Chains A and B, each alone.
Chain A
């Protein structure tokens, strides 16, 4: 029975944006995978980072703590962070917790890339 590790993390680049795809659940078991992916894109010099959520019907407070850790690093490293693909419920949670103040929330990847293009042009 798969109760623990239900997250797949991968990275890619599009239009100068490092995209971290998160397929599945973001809980305490996600920490190494998410931090590892973030370190990987940061070591490659990423300035714009997008956390692209896919089919995430379970993000809990431990997952939120991991994401706050990413925001902490992003601020330290002068990167820009955005998130896309969150359900309405988790968009609400991100706003409640305050994550939305530090990571722009977009509906999908295309909208996020357009947002980064505007930032880069500014």
Chain B
């Protein structure tokens, strides 16, 4: 799943996690990213934003992309650069993400009227991260690339 920018990174700067597609494992990605981001010098509130964004991305991959098939993996790449942390989350694409779903504008008043009150995950990712890009891997899996900048 690594794109060209990731492949050029020195190997010691990249952490790779391969998580079972079972809800709860997103915590492992959150904890790892949080630990890395704190060591990189991110402020506590930015670390919290990162944790929320990564939990939503991994949860989407588990629930939608891999349809809760525990044998399918969610791959998370964390790339630490001097001035930013890049997070890639990829699933194995049992179900493809509709591109229209990647730019939602949910409103709470609409949610009151709906049976399903959800649909906040991707919106939260976009609100909390500095750069967000959804793509489809050649293999058909869904990928999201998120970047959070280190502010000095």
Which residues of A line the B interface, CB within 8 A? 3-4, 27-29, 58, 60-62, 64-66, 68-69, 71-72, 75, 87-89, 92-93, 96-99, 101-102
Contacts and interface: CB of A to CB of B under 8 A. Distances in A.
Contacts of B119: 61, 65
A28 B120 CA distance: 13
Given A72-B112, A96-B127, A58 B27 contact: yes
Given A58-B55, A61-B124, A71-B112, A89 B49 contact: yes
30 contacts: A3-B23, A3-B27, A58-B30, A58-B55, A60-B59, A60-B121, A61-B59, A61-B118, A61-B119, A61-B120, A61-B124, A62-B118, A65-B111, A65-B117, A65-B119, A68-B108, A68-B111, A68-B117, A69-B117, A71-B108, A72-B117, A87-B48, A89-B45, A89-B49, A93-B52, A96-B124, A97-B108, A98-B108, A98-B109, A101-B108
Given A89-B45, A98-B107, 4 more contacts: A61-B121, A62-B118, A68-B117, A69-B117
A65 B118 CA distance: 5
Interface string B5-43: 000000000000000001111110010000000000000
A4 B23 CA distance: 7
B91 interface: no
Contacts of B121: 60-61
Interface residues of B, number: 28
Nearest to A28: B23
A64 B121 CA distance: 10
Contacts, number: 69
Contact of B24 (A3, A72, A102): A3
Interface in B88-114: 107-109, 111-112
A60 B56 contact: yes
A12 to B, nearest CB: 26
Nearest to A59: B52
A3 B25 contact: yes
A89 B116 contact: no
Contacts of B48: 87-89
A89 B108 contact: no
Contacts of A72: 111-112, 117
B59 A62 contact: yes
Contacts of A66: 117
Query: Which A-B residue pairs are the 8 nearest by beta carbons?
Result: A3-B24, A98-B108, A89-B48, A65-B117, A65-B118, A61-B120, A61-B121, A68-B117
Contacts of B117: 65-66, 68-69, 72
